[in-house]
A and B are shown apart, each in its own frame.
Chain A
Amino acid sequence: MPGADKETELKGRIEDFLADLKRGGSGTGALRGSGEMARETTYLLRRITAQARWSSAGDLMEIIRHEGRRITAAQPSETTVGNMVRRVLKIIREEYASTASGTSAKQNMVDHVIDGLVEDLSVQIKSNQILFVTYTWLGHEMATGLSKVIIGTQTVLANGGLRAVNGTHSVALAARHHSTPLIVCAPMFKLSPQFPNEEDTFHKFVSPHEVLPFTAGEILSKVNVHCPVFDYVPPELISNIGGNAPSYIYRLMSELYHPEDHKL
């Protein structure tokens, strides 16, 4: 039966995606980079909307929430996945509020809006006064006068703070010390409704073999080595994010996500 085939095909795709996520966590799997992950998630959610069986907005939201929980559990450190799920839930709520028509019309409209989601947000670097230097020289360069420091991030948290790659906090502190503006560029799908000291915020650690190779010998048995992947940068160190101050993040958050979807 064509219906049953579609369902098994859909299930198969979801399982593939979950496996990719689990492998792709360290950046070596098929999915690399948050942008690609966000795109893949949106494609998957669009497929679920098109192929799953649902008769009301509530049903669809329940299905997406259920799949969303599974996907985020597969790779908790990839917040973009959870963010896309929450974004889709918000879109469904908005569509439901603005239309009163039947199922098929709703389906088309939801697809149409999800298509719009898939467009990439490009980052424009306008200033021509940027020096690309390595982290070790950054303090020296800042003392002699950089005009601004621009960084990316893995996640933007709900209080305006960042979860960025290790070393970013030091850069931010140096920038604050030398009164150099710190600008963060991040696409919308990196905005996450998490807070930094909440219970289920995570940290990711990787093997320290690049820092302390296994050949180092005796010392290995005497020390504990931790190698965190991310840094927390508090909002006080950031000057503006995409033209918005860190204290304005709550506004963007309320436009993108609905408060009830913060916990999937």
Chain B
Amino acid sequence: MDKDELVEYFRTQVRQDPEVPSAVAAIRTLLEFLKRDQTGETILGLRENLTQTIRRLEEADSSVAVSSGGELFLRFISLTSLEHPDLSQCKKVMVERGELFLKKISLSRSKVAKLCHTFIKDGAKILTHSSSRVVLKVLESAAADKKRFTVYVTESQPDSAGRQMADKLRKLNIPVTVVLDAAVGYIMEKVDLVIVGAEGVVESGGIINKIGTYQLAVCSKAHNKPFYVVAESFKFVRLYPLNQQDVPERFKYKADTLKAVEDLAEEHPMIDYTPPSLITLIFTDLGVLTPSAVSDELIKLYL
């Protein structure tokens, strides 16, 4: 399976099922690659090939989740006893574990929604940022639980993703209002809680998310409103940024921009980093975590 086939397969997966997280599509692609791969003759060779494939997928989609999901997948399938003398046996074990991993993470969004919707009380006013499928699932579960609440969504320029989120919420009959990104401070006194998704959760317990999240967090801290993050566990990434500049460039901009543009200083970054001191709780499929508990869970995942 060569580079173009890979990227094509990945893009088809994303197109066929827009609800699926991009990391899940990437992992399906990796699994397919593993099944079809004929060139690997040793386990080390297989791992090398898979690592190369992850790099290629990152070039197609620069989000943090693809990178972290890919690495977790690789660790899960290869850090097990592969003592069979026959390579094809080992490959079979790896493919089985890969399927298991995929099944586990397909359920993670529902687990997160189940944990989080109890924190939404009747009559609550919720503020969210941009478009997150996990937040959508949480709000869907809360609505299915017969709770009445209203949602404010930030427009989230430059791609107006907030408007798409508002459309999806309207389809679920949830009263929703789109607000300007600049109106966050204005609207904060009205809301009861803030829920955002995350593209990545870092070791310090902070998050990487669409640009504007940091602002939202600072504002909600100033108004003493709880700031909740919902994220699946495959988004846990081994980074420890100390400030906005520490976030690697390859995550900050879209994949096309990285390839096309020479001088990135002129470009607007698409993501920002929110430090753990501004976050109240993080909801994952591993449970409800305080930001300080994230590093423990991360270590357990990666070891």
Binding site for B on A (CB under 8 A): 158-160, 195, 197-200, 247-251, 259, 262
Contact = CB atoms under 8 A, between A and B. Distances in A.
Contacts of A262: 287
Given A195-B281, A251-B296, A160 B118 contact: no
Given A159-B281, A200-B118, A195 B292 contact: no
Contact of A197 (B119, B287, B292, B296): B119
Contacts of B121: 197, 199
A248 B292 CA distance: 8
A251 B287 CA distance: 13
A250 B119 contact: no
A200 B288 CA distance: 15
11 contacts: A158-B288, A159-B281, A195-B281, A197-B119, A197-B121, A199-B118, A199-B119, A247-B292, A249-B290, A250-B293, A251-B296
A240 to B, nearest CB: 14
A198 B293 CA distance: 19
A130 to B, nearest CB: 30
A206 B280 CA distance: 31
Given A159-B281, A251-B296, A195 B289 contact: no
B288 A195 contact: yes
Contacts of B226: 197
A249 B288 CA distance: 13
Interface of B: 118-119, 121, 193, 226, 280-281, 286-290, 292-293, 296
A259 B287 contact: yes
A82 to B, nearest CB: 16
Contacts of A159: 280-281, 290
A124 B280 CA distance: 32
A109 B58 CA distance: 53
A10 to B, nearest CB: 34
Contact of A198 (B119, B287, B292): B119
Contacts of A248: 292
Contacts of A199: 118-119, 121
Nearest to A248: B292
A195 to B, nearest CB: 6
A226 B221 CA distance: 29
B119 A195 contact: yes
Given A195-B288, A199-B118, A250-B293, 11 more contacts: A158-B288, A158-B290, A159-B280, A197-B121, A198-B118, A200-B118, A247-B292, A250-B292, A250-B296, A251-B293, A259-B286
Given A159-B281, A197-B226, A247 B119 contact: no
Contacts of B296: 250-251
Residue among B119, B226, B287, B296 having the largest count of chain A Cβ atoms under 10 Å: B287
A248 B226 CA distance: 20
B134 to A, nearest CB: 19
Nearest to A260: B287
A224 to B, nearest CB: 19
Contacts of B289: 250
Sort A-B residue pairs by CB-CB distance and give the 7 closest, nearest first.
Answer: A247-B292, A250-B293, A199-B118, A259-B287, A198-B118, A197-B119, A159-B290
Contacts of A198: 118-119
A159 to B, nearest CB: 6
B116 to A, nearest CB: 10
A198 to B, nearest CB: 5
Contacts of A195: 119, 281, 288
A193 to B, nearest CB: 9
A87 B132 CA distance: 37
B290 A250 contact: yes
